[in-house]
Amino acid sequence: MIVLHLFLLLSSPTYALENASSFQKMWHKRDLNNTTTTAILKLEAHSVKNADDFDLHWNLARFYYWAASEANDSDQAAQLSKKGWDAAEAAKKIRPDRIEGWYWATANIGRYADSAGTFVTVKEGLSSHYENNAQQAIKIDPLYDDGGPYRSLGIYYTKLPWPMQDLDRARELIDLSLKENPKRALSLYHYANIQTQAGEANAAQKTLESILTLVPEEGNAPEIRRYQALAHQQLKSNQ
């Protein structure tokens, strides 16, 4: 009876939701003390017992995305982001009406493409996968994660090769995300990238400097710390 009770508890929606809440807390400190690795291990273990749990799959997708983004080795980043993409696809199958699967699929596909290189991007049609997921995310909830779907599509237009690259459209989309949160480090960093590509060096410098003024504790702390480091490196390389 005790074993049966534990099995039912582990398989219950309440148990899954309670874990999702704890993973949300871990997300807020994902750059500290191997928290991301711990979260992935726990999520993988729970997803085996709860294969149809939407929250576990999309949480797994975003932690894999963060791990891939922090990886220094491109092969490792590609492997991690591919796992994140797979987790996001699982979430989409369970709840295609919810944005999380589409949004984190987009993020992981982008990281996978950056890590795997041009050959894999073309061979696997990653650009189309990225754009389709981003467009669907916009249809469901364009304001999710501080206008994240707009931001994702904006990034897409900055990375397309000439003549498909469209910096004006990219700027419009990133602007929409910045309207939701003018202090979002991720949006500011990519806006600075657009300014740099458009030849607006002084404006890009000011945008990067604005990232350095952000207070981690007042926002998305792990992200702010990450993009402050990247902004500092970029400013230093421009000197």
Provide the CATH number for the domain formed by 142-239 in this structure.
1.25.40.10
| Contact assessment for residue 127 and residue 166, using Cβ atoms and an 8 Å cutoff | no
- For residue 13, the model assigns a pLDDT of 52
- For residue 120, the model assigns a pLDDT of 87
| Contact assessment for residue 46 and residue 13, using Cβ atoms and an 8 Å cutoff | no
- What predicted TM-score, i.e. pTM, was given to this entire model? 0.90
- For residue 5, the model assigns a pLDDT of 47
- For residue 40, the model assigns a pLDDT of 96
- For residue 2, the model assigns a pLDDT of 45
Which residues of the chain carry a pLDDT beneath 50? 2-10, 14-15
- In the chain, CATH 1.25.40.10 covers 142-239
- Other C-beta atoms closer than 10 Å to the C-beta of 93 total 12
- For residue 4, the model assigns a pLDDT of 46
Distance CA 147, CA 151 (A): 6
Pick the CATH number of 1-140 from 2.160.10, 1.20.1250, 1.10.10, 1.25.40: 1.25.40
